[in-house]
Structure 1
Amino acid sequence: MFFKKYDKLVASLFAFLTFIFFILAITNRDFLDWAFARHHNQLSWFIRPIFLIPFCYFAYKRSWSGISITIFSLFTSMFWFPEPEMVSKQVELFLDYEVEYLTSEWGLSKILLTLLVPISFLLLGLGFWKRNLWIGLSVIVMMALGKMMWSVTSAGESGKSIMIPAVVGLLLCVAFIYWGFKKLEKKKESIGK
């Protein structure tokens, strides 16, 4: 009830916190190093795609606060896990590349490329807001393929280190979202009868 009543207020608060987190990450090297030390734990790589499931659910339910809290959780999940004791060389090289990407100069082409992330989330949210399963799933597949392609073309061999978490995350998301969508639609139909 609270989230329904204060939906846009809670959404604005978590959108602001997500923005602050992003600015902090690209402007404060100590914070970025602390966060990425924990992001070396590949559990965070496997959990991150799973956040697309609640994101799609909240878009389907048209809950701004649910969407915003999910995005905040997705971004912060990179440092939920402890620093791993051992890290493969490929993972280390790939994350070094990501840190370099975030901390190097932000020109127009980099800004436009980075804007693909929020645009993808906007399209994903619209797909499920409009309750169109096929548009939503198409966007999820494009997001996963885009991340994998960017990783390999930008970071080279080390970019392949995200392939297993990305594919596992994609398959889980598609399966659970498809199942959940069908279940929600069936429930909606039974209520409408």
Structure 2
Amino acid sequence: MKKYDKQIAFMLFSLTVIFVLIASINKDFLDWIFARHHNQLSWYIRPLFLLPFCYFAFKRSWAGIMGTIFLLTTSMAWFPVPETINAQVKEFLQYEVDYLTGDWGVGKILITLLVPFSLTALALAFWKRNLWIGLTVLVLIAVGKMTWSVTSAGDAGKSIFIPALVGLFLCIFLIYWGFKKAQKKNDNQNNLKI
């Protein structure tokens, strides 16, 4: 698999771009996706995609990173439309749809570019195997998302706080545990060589 890592990564990146392009030009498809994104299960699993993302960055697998991004992007549509929808959830997601389908100026483009830049910083931290920078970037991503949500959508933006915080704490715990386990395994292998 390592031999085809970059080719597979490019294919997965292309599929992600195609998914985003279709959603951005086909309003019916975008509405179909967001109807399913009202299911808050998708809100709870989305932060957990940062676990395999960090793992594959640590393992230096382009295909793993791009596969995780593809799954993260499409996960909005994985769940059925909920029978009941919290009013704040509905209001916040309507804000997100309006944001995505509204006019795009320089400021909006720059704010939106924070998403790929922050994911790049996160991948780079774990690619370089720096746990503390990686965890710091992870916290900044969560705080940034929560801050943007509230400053942009008002009280409705608070609806992401619990899923974001649950995901953040789970990610920190599991990444820290996994990193320490990998370090211990590496130390044991180094001791055997001596």
Instruction: Tell me the TM-score normalised to structure 2 length.
Output: 0.97
Q: Specify the alignment match of 2:41 in structure 1.
A: 43
Equivalent in the alignment of 1:158: 156
Unpaired stretches in structure 1, ≥5 consecutive residues: none
CA distance in 2, matches of 1:110, 1:142: 19
Q: Aligned to 2:16, which of 11, 15, 18? A: 18
Residue equivalent to 2:145: 147
Distance (Å, rounded) in 2 between the aligned partners of 1:188 and 1:9: 29
Residue 61 of structure 1 is matched in structure 2 by: 59
Q: CA deviation at 1:192?
A: 2.1
1:186 paired residue number: 184
Structure 2: gaps of 5 or more residues: none
Residue 70 in 1 paired to residue 84 in 2?
A: no
SS at match of 1:75: helix
Find the partner of 2:86 among 85, 88, 92: 88
SS in 2 for 1:6: helix
Equivalent residues, number: 191
Distance 1:144 1:21 in 2: 24
**Structure 1 Cα separation of the partners of residues 185 and 76 of structure 2:** 35
Moved over 2 A (4+): none
Tell me, in whole angstroms, the C-alpha distance in 1 between the residues paired with 2:136 and 2:123: 12
Of all paired residues, the percent bearing the same amino acid is 64
The answer to whether the aligner puts 1:29 opposite 2:27 as a matched pair is yes
Q: Which amino acid aligns with 2:28?
A: D
In structure 2, the residue matched to 1:112 is 110
**Which moved further from structure 2: 139-148 or 17-26?**
17-26
Paired residue for 1:136?
A: 134
Offset at residue 107 of structure 1 (A): 1.1
Q: Secondary structure at the match of 1:115?
A: helix
What is the Cα deviation at residue 33 of structure 1?
0.1
